[in-house]
Amino acid sequence: MAHALAAAGAPSPASIGLRLSDDAELGELNERHLGKHGPTDVISFPLLDPPAFPPHTGQSATRPTAPMADFRPPGSRLELGDIVVSVERAVEQAQQGRGGQTSDVAWSAADELRLLVVHGTLHICGWDHARLEEETAMRALEQRILEMTA
């Protein structure tokens, strides 16, 4: 996670909450917060707006111009948000060869969890993959981070 925060230009010192959960909770969160039915592997809940982080390749030109205010006691860490990962889904994806960035990689559950945490961290830091150009940039950054942490 530290490599992903540094690569995304996150403010420092900072903290991210990480909850390892299951499909039931991710399904509920997915429906309640994203309006999608069924579980997913990772959901991020950023507390800062994207302008709090440096702009990046592929990012929409319509990003807001002013970052959210930094409300924290002096000397404390900035809270960037929370990531919730379905360990159940990560294990299943890895075992069934549906892991990795392309959903066709057979690797260990630990590798799949590592990818999901990196992916969620980048979402916290304003990265997205709704547009092809940004997805390409995000996947390339994920790959570099995974290689650094292997």
Is 71 domain-assigned? no
- Which of 28-32, 59-63, 80-84 bottoms out in mean pLDDT, i.e. has the lowest? 59-63
| Residue 118: inside a domain | yes
What stretches of 35-108 show up as alpha helix (H) in DSSP?
87-95
Closest Cα to residue 83, out of 28, 124, 111, 128? Answer: 124
- Higher pLDDT: 12 or 124? It is 124
Q: What are the tens digits of pLDDT across the range 108-131?
A: 999 999 999 999 999 999 999 888
Length of the chain: 150
Residue 68 lies in a domain: no
Domain membership flag for residue 69? no
Q: What's the pTM value of the predicted model, to 2 decimals?
A: 0.88
89 within some domain: yes
Number of helices (H), then strands (E), belonging to the chain: the values are 5, 3
State both tokens at 108. 């260990």
Which contiguous run of DSSP H or E holds residue 123? helix 109-124
What is the CATH number for 18?
A: 3.40.390.30
pLDDT at 27 over 80: yes
Residue in this structure with the two tokens 């990795």, named with its chain if needed:
100
Residue 86 pLDDT > 50: yes
Banded pLDDT at 21 (limits 50, 70, 90): very high
Is 61 inside a domain boundary?
Answer: no
Q: What percent of the chain has pLDDT over 70?
A: 89
| Residue 66 domain flag | no
Identify which has the larger pLDDT, 77 or 38. 38
Q: Which domain holds residue 119?
A: 2-52+78-149
How is residue 86 written in tokens?
């379905």
Q: 135 pLDDT exceeds 60?
A: yes
Please, which residues have CB within 8 angstroms of residue 110's CB and are 6 or more apart in sequence? Answer: none
Please state the domain count of the chain: 1
- H or E element in which residue 103 lies: none
Tokens of 38: 């069924």
